[in-house]
Amino acid sequence: MAEATKRPNSLTRNLTAKIASLPMIATALVIFIGCTLWTIYHSFTRSRLLPAPDKWVGLDQYERLWNTRRWLVSIENLAIYGICSLILSLVIGFTLAALLDQKIRGENVFRTIFLYPFALSFIVTGLAWQWILNPQFGIQEVVRRWGLESFTFDPLNNADIAIYGILIAGIWQGSGFIMVIMLAGLRGIDEEIWKAARVDGIPTWKTYVFIIIPMMRPVFVTALVLIASGIIKVYDLVVAQTSGGPGIATEVPAKYVIEKMFLSQNLGQGFAASTMMLLSVLVVLIPWAYLEFGGKRRG
């Protein structure tokens, strides 16, 4: 009995901290969970421009969604853009960071140059790359003027590869930021580890791959979350660069949601699409969270 009173109640422990986080807890519950549930509910209704909770139509909106070519193309594009952007951002970001970490001269200059694109919005990035990739005044024209008359490079006008034109712009904008995060991670590695590796005669690349990268796991997780959230919500880049064209070749899910909600004035369809986006995030997130947090508790 006496022991029980001595043990702090788990509710009142760190009381001030808990009170301080109350606003955020409320925000999470009401805004994130509450609005998500509201959205999911209305995706089963025939809501047009205004929510109509009483016009229940069951799975009609989802049926229409998965019978729409534009939605299927959007999903495919998101997969291509997502996988390529994830891998390339990490590889390029880490490589640049590792190169900058060689104690080179003018590191600040290079870091600034690489990070600079991140200071631009996706709209500016998209427009700049629209011009760079434009066959009449961009790269193609420049190379042709050098004498390579047959040179052709106009990804944005070719429906089969247009999404890669968007990818180039996305990587250009984002990899500098990943580089900075990686660089911070590399700087956090104890100098002694490097000395030990050198004493053992391990080649530099092996040290990176087998020692440094595993030690940088938290940094990689942070980078991964940042990149992934950027992928799911990619919208402005596409709007600025191609408006989804040519045809529907570069449509993405977020654009479908916005346009169905406010252009086609069909909230139900937009909500159904955004619910599918949420579902796809959960499909990735839940196994990862289980491995990340569930595993630790067991260990």
Partner 1 sequence: MKTIRTLAATTAICAAGAAHAVDLEVTHWWTSGGEAAAVAQFAKAFNEKTEHNWVDGAIAGGGGTARPIMISRILGGDPMDATQLNHGRQAEELIEAGLMLDLTDVAEAEGWKDIVNPSSLLDSCTVDGRIYCAPVNIHSWQWIWLSHKAYEDAGVDVPSNWDEFVASAPALEEAGKIPLAMGQQPWQSSGAFGVMAIAIAGQDAWSAVNIDKNADVAGGPEYAKVFEAAANARAFAAKSNVQDWNQATNLVITGQAGAQIMGDWAQGEFQVAGQVAGEDYTCLPGLGVNEIISTGGDAFYFPKQDDPEVEAAQKELAALLLSPEVQVDFNLAKGSLPIRGDVDLAAANDCMKKGLEILASGAILPDGNQTLSPDTSGQIEDLMVEFWNDPSYSAADAQARYAEIIADAD
Chain residues that interact with partner 1, rule: CB under 8 A: 48-50, 68-70, 135, 157, 159, 239, 243, 245-249, 258-266, 269
Question: Of 48 and 111, which has the nearer Cβ to partner 1?
Answer: 48
Smallest distance from the beta carbon of 53 to partner 1, in angstroms? Answer: 14
In whole angstroms, give the CA distance from residue 32 to residue 39. 10
| Pick 226 or 248: Cβ nearer partner 1 | 248
CB of 189 to partner 1, least distance (A): 47
**Cβ nearer to partner 1, comparing 132 with 246:** 246
Q: Which is nearer to partner 1, 75 or 186 (CB)?
A: 75
Compute CA 134 distance to the chain's CA centroid, rounded to the nearest angstrom.
Answer: 26
Which of 71/177 has CB closer to partner 1? 71
**Cβ nearer to partner 1, comparing 107 with 135:** 135
Least gap, CB of 166 to partner 1 (angstroms): 15
75 within 8 A of 253, measured Cβ to Cβ: yes
The residues, any chain, with a CB within 8 Å of residue 121's CB and separated by 6 or more, are: 236
The sign one gets for the Cα dihedral 121, 127, 130, 134 is negative
| Smallest gap from residue 249 Cβ to partner 1 (A) | 7
Question: CB 171 → partner 1: shortest distance, Å?
Answer: 23
CB 262 → partner 1: shortest distance, Å? 3
- Both ends of the chain: CA-CA distance in Å? 32
Do you know the residue count of the chain?
A: 299
User: What is the smallest separation between the CB atom of 274 and partner 1, expressed in angstroms?
Assistant: 14
- Residue 135 or 143 with smaller CB distance to partner 1: 135
Q: Which is nearer to partner 1, 177 or 256 (CB)?
A: 256
Nearest distance, CB of residue 259 and partner 1, angstroms? 7
